[in-house]
Amino acid sequence: MQVNLSELFSSDGKERTYTQDIEMEQFQAPDGVYEIVKKEPVRLTIRHTGERKLEASGEIRLSLEIPCDRCLTPVKVDFDLDVNFSADLNQTEEDRAKELDEQPYISGNYLDVDQLVRNELLLNLPMKVLCREDCKGICNRCGANLNFESCECDRSTSDPRMSVIQDIFKQFKEV
């Protein structure tokens, strides 16, 4: 959804609150595509401070389904993000993007709400998502989800590369 900002420029100090739907159904993260399973319209209060400079604050609320780090079960992760930004529309789009080190979400007099949401999500993605604290993960031999089933695989020895890693682990523990 695009917000037309031009009406704000009619006077200094003009302010408006916009409520805009998020249109995208999925979020393209660096390591996969996550479903947006819940979303609320984005509320943005934008103020024209003068000379085509804007200040904005708002709130983004949505839930993503992110696979568990260990067993890949989808986990619903809630986001409740406060957004604050300022923009100088006298700058070119490229300059602004470079300054902020992110994808431009303002183009001409239009603000792209989905792009703003994408940027904020990228900044706020959790490092690691687990379906539960003690998730046992997936058997790396047969693929069984070890939270729900056990398998007969011998996961302790057979792969020589793994045993090297286990030796390293042991050394660490002994220290």
CB of 150: closest distance to Zn ion in angstroms? Answer: 8
**Residue 37 engages Zn ion in binding (rule: CB under 5 A):** no
Among 39, 48, 70, 96, binds Zn ion (CB under 5 A): 70
CA gap 116, 58 in Å, rounded: 11
**Residue 39 engages Zn ion in binding (rule: CB under 5 A):** no
Among 8, 71, 117, 121, binds Zn ion (CB under 5 A): 71
Helix intervals (H) in the chain: 93-100, 113-124, 160-174
Q: Which of residues 134-153 bind Zn ion (CB under 5 A)?
A: 135, 139, 141-142, 144, 151, 153
CB of 67: closest distance to Zn ion in angstroms? Answer: 8
CA gap 144, 110 in Å, rounded: 49
The smaller minimum CB distance to Zn ion, of residues 56 and 131, is found at: 131
CA distances to 2, 49, 50, 88 from 99, rounded to whole Å, are 22, 20, 21, 11
Size of the site for Zn ion (CB under 5 A): 12
CA distances to 73, 133, 139, 157 from 151, rounded to whole Å, are 18, 21, 8, 15
CA gap 26, 35 in Å, rounded: 4
Which positions touch Zn ion (CB under 5 A)?
68, 70-71, 73, 131, 135, 139, 141-142, 144, 151, 153
